[in-house]
Amino acid sequence: MIKSFGQNLPELQLLLSSSHCLMEVDDGAELCFPQLLNTSCRKPTLPWSEVVFLHTLMSSISLLTVALNLLVIISVSHFRQLHTPTNILLLSLAVSDFLVGLLLIPGEILRKTSCWFLGDLVCSLYNYVSFIIPSVSVGDMVLISADRYVAICAPLHYPTRITVTRVKVCVCLCWLCSVLYSSLFLKDNLTQPDRYISCYGECVIVIDYVAGAVDLVVTFIAPITVIIVLYMRVFAVAVSQARAMRSHITAVALQRSVTPKAKKSELKAARTLGVLVFVFLICFCPYYCVSFAVDNALNSSSIAYVIYLFYFNSCLNPVIYVLFYPWFKKAITQIVTFKILQPGSSEANIL
């Protein structure tokens, strides 16, 4: 699902169809619903090797995404030591990533390699969810950037400004706003699921030019600008603080404001979350930038792989946690050995 293809409206149904076959196959192709000769879409004619490759690769990524993010969800939810503002944001991101692996990747595999047999209503709901989840992910990244900005640029005010309660409220608002925004954006698709369906066996979503432009600003340009500005400021301050920590001249001043150990911890967290945001931008930007490509440069395969790249980010996030967060490795050990089932395990020291 590419949200910003409003400017290519005549081609959109072809590009986002689960069958995308009416224009691509010859008269001898099989029908999705043979009993509906005049109204059935035709089955995709992808090479068998490509179908097997896509199914194997994307199914593996889907299972890995679900498993890894489920570990993150259990870890942050179970262990009391991990109930920090930053980890609450990571928990929200893990939930959205978990849904990507559970719902969006399997749905995209079905759209790419087969006919849509689940009906118009399920298609409409799938498109609805595929709008909500990326919006939540973007919102979480903005909140994570803001969290690091306050932690690095105003460390003395961080404990009072960024509390667990406030972060939970922000996360709930992020999800609520994404649901409401997607509801308004896809109102026609939700109220009339079969409005843009040209044949049985396809699942499409049509976005006009104005709506696509608004969505581009709201869910791409504005949040990405905020993320980049905040992290530029964070790393500028982080570099200056790292130099100050190594300087004997400023040792006394640092001791009065915040301990070097605490400062080092915040800088490390900023670096880790900076990697998270950077990887997100690499996977996210093509998802929108492809909408500005010239029409003849687009085809269903290239669009599908751009979508897969965006969804693959949901698998990479927990891998980043494993590489940079020792507490996540300890939490995984506690989970896979079933020690979390023991009484009082939530109070275990894993930091």
Range of the domain at 186: 6-344
Q: Which residues partner with 200 through β-bridges?
A: 40
Q: Tell me the C-alpha distance between 281 and 325, whole Å.
A: 21
Residue 71: closest CA among 285, 325, 246: 325
Give the position of tokens 């029409």. Answer: 295
Is 350 domain-assigned? no
Is 142 domain-assigned? yes
Give the position of tokens 């406030």. Answer: 166
Q: Tell me the C-alpha distance between 153 and 239, whole Å.
A: 11
* pLDDT tens-digit map of 267-304: 666 677 788 888 988 888 887 777 655 444 445 666 77
Looking at the 3D structure of the chain, how many domains does it have?
A: 1
Chain centre to alpha carbon of residue 272 = 18
In contact, 197 and 12? CB cutoff 8 Å: no
Q: What does the pLDDT read at residue 4?
A: 40
Residues in Cβ contact with 122 at an 8 Å cutoff, skipping those fewer than 6 apart = none
Is 349 domain-assigned? no
Q: What does the pLDDT read at residue 286?
A: 83
Give SS3 for 336. Answer: helix
Q: Tell me the C-alpha distance between 100 and 186, whole Å.
A: 19
Is 351 domain-assigned? no
Q: What does the pLDDT read at residue 115?
A: 87
**Cβ-based burial of 121 (10 A; exposed 0-12, middle 13-18, buried ≥19):** exposed
Is 1 domain-assigned? no
User: What is the identity of the amino acid at 121?
Assistant: L
Q: What is the CATH number of the domain that holds 146?
A: 1.20.1070.10
Is 78 domain-assigned? yes
C-alpha to C-alpha distances, 271 to 148, 150, 239, 276, nearest whole angstrom: 10, 14, 11, 9
Helix (H) or strand (E) holding 306: helix 300-324
Q: Tell me the C-alpha distance between 5 and 291, whole Å.
A: 5
Q: What does the pLDDT read at residue 9?
A: 32
In contact, 69 and 94? CB cutoff 8 Å: yes
Phi and psi angles of residue 62, each rounded to the nearest 5 degrees, phi first: -60, -50
Q: What does the pLDDT read at residue 17?
A: 43
Q: Which residues does the chain have with pLDDT short of 50?
A: 1-27, 248-250, 253-254, 256-259, 294-298
* pLDDT tens-digit map of 136-152: 999 999 999 999 899 88
